[in-house]
Chain A
Amino acid sequence: MEVLLQLILNGILLGGLYAMIGLGMSLIFGIMGIINLAHGDLMIVSTYMSMVVAMRFSGNVFIALLITVVVMIIIGFLCQTFLINKVIDKGPEPPLLITFGLSIILQNVLLLIFGADAKNIPTRVSSENIVTTPWFSISEIYLINFVISIVVILLLSFVMKKTYFGRAIRATSGDIVASELVGVNTKRIYAYTMALAMATASIAGLLIGMTFTYSPSTGTQYLIFAFGVVVIGGMGNLVGTLLGGIILGLSQMVGSYFFGTAYQLFCGYIVLLVILTFRPQGLFAGARK
């Protein structure tokens, strides 16, 4: 029983990290209506970037994160302006295939530079428990992940609701022709959205690096997690994203309790497929209104 309690707790906390992973995807999907197949790889690129900056140059994770966020924002802006915006009017397939090509390139560039070995970003918090009771314990890094993702989600909700920038983004996703009529440069807004998504992806990337091991090929796995979170939570719904992350985390943890740890990821994928079958619009779609 204690084991199950611990797993449920871990599942919820892990869900925070998954929500963080899915956040960027949710923005892109919700506002542009496209799936960025390179999202997982871009996340892992930012993980490697944080690792290099933190271990080679600064020695401080926060400075590494700051530098990574800035670089990833620039990369996101350039990718959107010079690649995806060029084909975004031509139906759903070209953007999908462009980002697929991007994903192939990024994965192999990482493989070329860093090799296929699994790596991690060692920090003091990675292995310590912050709360230890006879019944359960809370891992420090899991709690940090959860808190950071909630803070980021709240911050993002605030930006989306209260600022001009957020209103312009929401207008673009609502009615593209009307927003162009009132003077919103929608292509530019798409580029900003991608930059914003990359900022959240680089935070997620650092958290992944501190929590788990990673290698150039793990991007695929996190892409599917991100997609899962978006599908379960309903696209473009920020609170739904958090709930989606928690459901995905819980289904993995509870699945590992009943079927063994080997089936942890498998259970997550099956839950995702079942939800896709019965409610492809997401469990919490429409909850925002």
Chain B
Amino acid sequence: MALTKTNNAAASVKIVVLGIIVILLFTLPFWAPENIVMIFLLIMLYMSLGQMWNLLAGYAGLVSLGQQIFIGLGGYSLAVITEVYHLNFLLAIFIGGVVSVIFVLIISQPIFKMKGIYFSISTWVIAEALALYFLNWAFVGYGLGFNIRTTYEMSTSFLYYLSLVLGLGSVLLVYIIMRTKRGLALMAMRDNESAAEVMGVELYKTKLTIFLISAFITGMTGAVLYLNISFIQPYAAFSIDWTVASVVIVIIGGIGTMEGSIIGAVVYVILKQFLYDFPGISMIILGVIAILIILIAPKGIMGMLHDKFGWEVLSPRRSPKKLMKMIRF
């Protein structure tokens, strides 16, 4: 009885704290200076990238090294739709997601035949091939790329709210997915693929769904990122650096946890801003941190906190009673 009470108290404290954080985030542009808003804007976008890579690698066991495919497709959709067709940028962001989904549908047949390392490298090769294709494609202006002029009259706070929606939306989305039956199937698949299949998990369908969701959100994030950068060019858009960022964020924060990408994104963006004048050094430090974390604390900062103090804010676990209800056939 006493235990339930403390549990309930802890739960309500958690909800209050989360609520305060969300309110602070939503009111940020009203009380914080512009450079702080800018930093939080980047944190939100990188958080979304981290969440989506974590969904693939941490939960579905698909170690993608080709997240830049969707960043590039999203960014180019934005550029083409606003610069060539002069249509609304919100539509462009949405189409950025849709184009990524269509692209995944095209490559899904061959790419899901590959397992493990083959999958990882193939996604990377596809991204490199796309970069070369865009470099030689007249429609997107070859290697010259586009200036995305639609952003010139947008305020930082407007861009911040767009990023906030994507960032918090991605966390919420992963949380909801993990709480459904599909999330359970996903974790079963990650832990033991053949056992999950025997229990009735449709491997191909589950993997495809997750890859499609991840592509959709990453594509939209890519479009908003380029709304922010306002200049797109093939080598930068399809650069492995986007995947590097996602991987580093998730490893630092903790692979297979939802909070991990949040912590990782904060560390990543702040370190990058702090060493803004020395981009090489910040990447070297991040690389060293990532290697040390894999060697010393493979579960990342969040995993360490969870093991030591039992901290867990966004848990994919459910009460046993609820769980029994869900897996009943």
Contacts and interface: CB of A to CB of B under 8 A. Distances in A.
Interface string A89-105: 01011101110111011
Nearest to A266: B132
27 contacts: A35-B117, A83-B295, A87-B295, A93-B57, A93-B63, A94-B298, A96-B117, A98-B295, A101-B288, A102-B291, A104-B286, A105-B283, A107-B283, A108-B284, A220-B128, A224-B121, A231-B118, A265-B128, A265-B132, A269-B129, A270-B129, A272-B125, A273-B110, A273-B129, A277-B114, A280-B115, A280-B118
B317 interface: no
B244 to A, nearest CB: 6
B126 A97 contact: no
A228 B129 CA distance: 13
A15 B97 CA distance: 39
A220 B129 contact: no
A265 B295 CA distance: 36
Given A96-B120, A101-B248, 17 more contacts: A86-B295, A97-B251, A97-B290, A100-B247, A101-B291, A104-B244, A105-B288, A111-B280, A112-B281, A112-B284, A231-B118, A263-B136, A269-B129, A269-B132, A273-B126, A277-B110, A277-B114
Nearest to A107: B283
A241 B3 CA distance: 63
Contacts of B133: 266
B247 A276 contact: no
B283 A104 contact: yes
Interface in B64-89: 65
Interface residues of B, number: 39
Contacts of A270: 129
Interface size class of chain A, counting residues whose CB lies under 8 Å from the partner chain:
35 or more
Contacts of A96: 63, 117, 120
A63 interface: no
A192 interface: no
B284 A105 contact: yes
Contacts of B281: 108, 112
A98 B294 contact: yes
Interface string A255-289: 00000001101100110110011001000000000
* Chain A to chain B: the 8 pairs with minimum beta-carbon distance, closest first: A277-B110, A104-B287, A105-B287, A269-B129, A101-B291, A101-B290, A266-B132, A108-B283
Contacts of B284: 104-105, 108-109, 112
B113 interface: yes
B208 interface: no
A227 interface: yes
